[in-house]
Structure 1
Amino acid sequence: MTAHRIGLLFLLLGLPGLAGAQSALPGLDMELTPMNSPDEVATGLRILALLTVLTLAPAILVLMTSFVRVVVVLSFLRQALGTQQTPPNQVIIGLSLFLTLFIMAPVWQQIDQEALGPYLDNQISFQEGAMRALEPAREFMFAQAGDREVRLFMNLAGEDKPADLSEIPTRALIPAFVISELKTAFEIGFLIYIPFLIIDMVVASVLMSMGMMMLPPVMISLPMKLILFVLVDGWYLIVGSLVESFQ
C-alpha cells in the first residue's frame, strides 16, 4: 500500500468529521437520551464494537505480520552479544517496524489493489472490502504457519482437519501463525547464540588456565564478540537472512 493512498484514506475519513465538529462547536449541547427503538440500540452497539476494534487494532496488526519474528530475533542478537541495552529498545522496535513494512509490502499492495482501491471508488461495500482485505493476510499467515500448529488449534476448536486455507477459520489461523513465528524466531536465536557462546567458553578457559581468576571473562569476550560481529558484517547477514526467511 503506497503512502499517498494511506494519506488519501485518512484525508477522506478525517475531513467530514473535522467539518462537522467545526460547525457544531458554537452550539455544542450534550444530552443523554434513552434509546427507544432497536435500530438505535444496534447503532450504539456498532459504535462500541468499532471502538473496541480500534483499541485492539495495533496488537492485531502486529500479530498478523512479520513483526514478531523480527523483533524476537533482534532481541536474541542483543542478548547474545552481551551489550546490555545497546542497541536500545527504541532502535530494535523501530528497525523491526521498518523491516515489517518492507516484508509485508507485497501483501499490502495486494490489499490496496483488491480492497482499498475499489472501496474508495465506491465499487464495493465496506463489508466486502474488509473480506477482500483479509484474504491476502490469511494467505501470508498460512504460508508461514506450521501444520502442527494449525492442527492443534483446529482440534482445540473442535474442527475437522482442514483440506485447504478456506476451511481454516481466522480465529485458529492467527494463534497458529504466532506460535509458528515464535518457534522459528527461537530456532534462529539458538543459531545466533552458538558462535558467541563458543567465544565465551574459550575466553573463560584461557583465563582460568592463566590463573586470572579475578578478571571477569566478559571484559575480554565482549570486545572479541563485537569485532567478530563487525568483521563478518553481522547486521547484513542477520537482516538478509530474516527477510529471506519469509520468501
Structure 2
Amino acid sequence: MRALLLRRLAGCWAGCWKPLSAGLLLALAVGVVAGLSAGPALAQSLTFDLGDAGGTATGRIVQMVALITVLSLAPSILIMMTAFTRIVIVLSFLRNALGVQQVPPTTVMMSLALFLTFFVMAPVFERSYTQGIQPLINQEIDEMEAFRRTVAPLREFMLNHTSEKDLRLFMDMARIQSVPEPSDMPLHVLVPAFMISEIKRGFEIGFLLFLPFLIIDMVVSSILMSMGMMMLPPTMVAIPFKIIFFVLVDGWYLIAGSLARSFGTL
C-alpha cells in the first residue's frame, strides 16, 4: 500500500514538474532577451543643455525657475488681471438671488465664468501674443522686452477699469506721487487697485440683480400671510416663481451679454 502511494506521488510530481520547468525556462529566456535588448537603451543618457560652464548655465537655470514660477501662478494671474473677478461675483450673486444654492452646480458656474473671461479678454490676449510672445519665439527680442510688451495690453485693460480713487489709494500707500505715463504704473500698485474696483462693480451689479427677486419674495410672503399659511416657508414657494420669471425674461442671455459688453473690449 505504501509502495503504491509512493509511485502515485512520483508520477504526479513528474507530471507537474514538466509544465512548471517549461514555464520557468520560458520566463528565463524572455528575461534574458529583454535584458539584452534593453542594454543599449539603458546605456543612453538624458542630458539637458544648460549652456557653457560660465554665466550662460546660470542664466538658463534662472529662466527655467522663472518659467515654472509663472506657470504655477497662472491661475492667480487669471483671477487678478482679467475680467474673471467681476464675472464670477455676479454669477454667485445670481445663484443666491434665485435661492437655489446648488443649481447650476459650482463646476458649471466656474466653467461659464472662465469661458466668458476668455471671450472678453480675447482681443487683449491676442495683442499680448502678437506684440510680445510671437517676437520672442522668432528670437527678435529678449525676455525682458517680451515681458514688457506682453504685459502692456493687460496693463491698459486694468487701467481702463480701475477707478481713480482706488488707484490713488494704493499709490499713496506705496508713496508714489505720479508716474510719467500710465503705462509706467507699477503692477504691484495697479493689480490690487484693479481687483477692488472689480469687486465693487460686481457687488453693484449683484445688488441690481437681487431687487426683482426680492420683490417676488416680498409678494409671496405677503400673500401667504394674508391667507394665514404661516407654517409654509415663503422661500420654498417663491423659488418656482423666481425660476419661471428668470426663464421668461431670458435671464442668461441678458446677463451674459451685459457682462461681456460692460468691459467695452468687444
TM-score range, shorter chain: 0.7 to 0.9
Aligned position for 1:86: 103
Matched, 1:75 2:99: no
Per-residue deviation, 1:155:
0.5
Q: Which amino acid aligns with 2:212?
A: P
Equivalents in 2 of 1:104, 1:156: separation in Å? 29
Equivalents in 2 of 1:133, 1:167: separation in Å? 14
Aligned position for 1:182: 199
Per-residue deviation, 1:167:
3.8
Equivalents in 1 of 2:129, 2:63: separation in Å? 25
Offset from partner CA, 1:143-164 (integer Å, 9 cap, x none): 0011111001000101104464
Per-residue deviation, 1:39:
7.5
Matched, 1:121 2:127: no
Q: Which amino acid aligns with 1:189?
A: G
Aligned position for 1:141: 158
Equivalents in 1 of 2:155, 2:201: separation in Å? 19
Change (3 A) 1:26 1:199: farther
Larger of the two Rg values belongs to structure: 2
Matched, 1:60 2:77: yes
Of 202, 210, 216, the match for 2:233:
216
Offset from partner CA, 1:158-203 (integer Å, 9 cap, x none): 1104464134211100111111000000000000000000110111
Aligned residues: 220
Equivalents in 1 of 2:57, 2:117: separation in Å? 41
Per-residue deviation, 1:109:
1.2
Q: Which amino acid aligns with 1:145?
A: T
Per-residue deviation, 1:57:
2.2
* Structure 1 residue matching 2:100: 3-state secondary structure: coil
Q: Give structure 1 stretches of 5+ with no counterpart.
A: 1-22, 31-35
Of 166, 184, 189, the match for 2:183:
166
Equivalents in 2 of 1:58, 1:197: separation in Å? 35
Q: Give structure 2 stretches of 5+ with no counterpart.
A: 1-39, 48-52
CA contact (8 A) 1:151 1:161 kept: no
Superposed counterparts of 1:3-42, under 5 Å: 26-27=43-44
Q: Which amino acid aligns with 2:88?
A: V
Matched, 1:225 2:242: yes
Change (3 A) 1:42 1:112: closer
Identity across aligned pairs (percent)?
Answer: 50
CA contact (8 A) 2:155 2:183 kept: no
Equivalents in 2 of 1:154, 1:52: separation in Å? 27
Q: Which amino acid aligns with 1:72?
A: I
Change (3 A) 1:25 1:59: farther
RMSD of the TM alignment (CA)?
2.3
Matched, 1:243 2:243: no
Name whichever of 200-209 and 162-171 sits farther off.
162-171
Q: Which amino acid aligns with 1:175?
A: P
Matched, 1:98 2:138: no
Equivalents in 2 of 1:39, 1:113: separation in Å? 28
Change (3 A) 1:178 1:25: farther
Equivalents in 1 of 2:167, 2:122: separation in Å? 25
Aligned position for 1:203: 220
Equivalents in 2 of 1:129, 1:174: separation in Å? 20
Equivalents in 2 of 1:162, 1:128: separation in Å? 20
